[in-house]
Amino acid sequence: MFKALVVRKAEDGAISQAVEELDDAMLPDGDVTVKVDYSTLNYKDGLCMHGKGGLVRAFPHVPGVDFAGVVEQSADPRYRPGDRVILTGWRVGEVWWGGYASRAKVKADWLVKLPDAISTRQAMAVGTAGLTSMLAVIALEKAGLKPDQGEVVVTGAAGGVGSVAVAILARLGYRVAAVTGRPETEDYLRDLGAETIIPRGELAEPTAKPLESERFAAGIDAVGGDMLMRVLKQVKYNGSVAAIGLAAGAAVPSFTVVPFLLRGVNLLGIDSVMRPHDQRVEAWSRLAADLPMDKLEAMVSEHGLAEMPGLGASILKGGVKGRIVVNPQL
């Protein structure tokens, strides 16, 4: 038996969530069985728990798009009982049962061995959000970004992805400008390493200008919508913006190609769901080296499975700060 948060859909379409004890025979087919130590709360988890976004195809369902834990059984020679592993992406928690459970069964190809320097709790304090942030930083570096080129702006900076991005960039020596709509998070963001705090209102409204004054060397955008366009218009010549989220929506009504044509700005799309294994290993190795774990701990709160539906509703409204670690034993 194992404990899980189970999402069910009634005949009338109503969605419910409850912590249940399930038989191991209900686990999906897979190569590796993992004792889940921790999972996290992501925006997608909020959608899956509340039946939004069309992500969940079949019910009952166990959400949780990432988890870290210890291998219990493996039919794949790459993993042995006792190995510490992490899983992010691959539609786990969406079309495959996920990490909001004390046990999970998955395909071996989806797993990554955890670096020795990171505990399973720290791994989930990082989670999908932190992995995405690290992939964005790596992409910006490969596009030529260096710390001496100027400010790097991070939008949605107080959220899970933005918080980790701020901490990583500051640790690497970048000057970070953090955009937030919550004034009460200013001290939190400065503690993570942000040098400048930009109120969301300064970038939230669209402008008819095809270009604005050059300000940022680069950007990491978790918001999308018109804010992404405002950032692109303010990036310096040959700078880059890594797009990692769409909290404000997928459409960019004020879109213009002018920043790309006149300033050579690059828009880098960051996907962590289907990222190849070798790139995941690189990113986790970089996280072990470049993410200040003391800063990481400052942004973490730990919660049990029963709290997830309420917190999932909150994250959909932009009401979650930092990283929420899910302990399935609570």
Span 224-247, pLDDT tens digits: 999 999 999 999 999 999 999 887
Span 254-267, pLDDT tens digits: 999 999 999 999 99
CB atoms within 10 A of CB 257: 10
* Three-class SS state of 212: coil
Query: What is the reported pLDDT for 198?
Result: 97
Confidence band of 298 (pLDDT split at 50, 70, 90)? confident
CATH 3.40.50.720: which residues of the chain? 128-269
CATH 3.90.180.10: which residues of the chain? 2-114+299-327
Query: What is the reported pLDDT for 266?
Result: 98
CB atoms within 10 A of CB 81: 12
Q: What kind of architecture, by CATH, is found in domain 128-269?
A: 3-Layer(aba) Sandwich (3.40)
Q: Is the pLDDT of residue 215 over 90?
A: yes
Q: Is the pLDDT of residue 294 over 90?
A: no
Confidence band of 322 (pLDDT split at 50, 70, 90)? confident
Confidence band of 250 (pLDDT split at 50, 70, 90)? confident
Confidence band of 207 (pLDDT split at 50, 70, 90)? very high
- The strands making up 266-269's β-sheet, listed across from edge to edge, are 196-199, 176-180, 152-154, 216-221, 235-243, 266-269
Q: Is the pLDDT of residue 38 over 90?
A: yes
Phi, psi of 269 (to 5 degrees): -85, 130
Q: Determine the distance from the C-alpha atom of residue 221 to the mean position of all C-alpha atoms in its chain, rounded to a whole number.
A: 12
Q: Is the pLDDT of residue 318 over 90?
A: no
Query: Measured between alpha carbons, how far is 238 from 145 in angstroms, rounded to an integer?
Result: 10
Superfamily covering domain 2-114+299-327: Medium-chain alcohol dehydrogenases, catalytic domain (3.90.180.10)
DSSP codes of every residue in 150-164 = --EEESSTTSHHHHH
Of all residues in the chain, what percent carry a pLDDT higher than 90?
Answer: 89
Span 117-164, pLDDT tens digits: 999 999 999 999 899 999 999 999 999 999 999 999 999 999 888 999
Q: Is the pLDDT of residue 313 over 90?
A: yes
Q: Is the pLDDT of residue 278 over 90?
A: yes
* Three-class SS state of 235: strand
CA-CA distances (angstroms) from residue 128 to 57, 59, 190, 205, 242?
A: 21, 24, 23, 29, 16
Query: What is the reported pLDDT for 83?
Result: 98
How many residues are given for the chain?
A: 330
Question: Are 181 and 200 contacting, i.e. CB atoms less than 8 angstroms apart?
Answer: yes
- Tell me which long-range contacts 186-191 makes (C-beta under 8 A, separation of at least 24): 188/158, 188/298, 188/299, 188/321, 188/322, 189/157, 189/158, 189/163, 191/295, 191/298
Mean pLDDT of the chain: 95
The letter for the amino acid at 137 is: V
- Tell me which long-range contacts 52-59 makes (C-beta under 8 A, separation of at least 24): 52/316, 55/94, 55/95, 56/7, 56/94, 56/95, 57/94, 57/95, 58/95, 59/7, 59/8, 59/9
Query: Measured between alpha carbons, how far is 197 from 188 in angstroms, rounded to an integer?
Result: 11
Contacts with 58 (C-beta within 8 Å, 6 or more apart), sequence order: 95
Span 49-105, pLDDT tens digits: 999 989 999 999 999 999 999 999 999 999 999 999 999 999 999 999 999 999 999
Query: What is the reported pLDDT for 137?
Result: 97
Query: What is the reported pLDDT for 295?
Result: 82
Average pLDDT over residues 202-222: 95
Of all residues in the chain, what percent carry a pLDDT higher than 70?
Answer: 100
Contacts with 121 (C-beta within 8 Å, 6 or more apart), sequence order: 37, 38, 68, 325
Contacts with 10 (C-beta within 8 Å, 6 or more apart), sequence order: 16
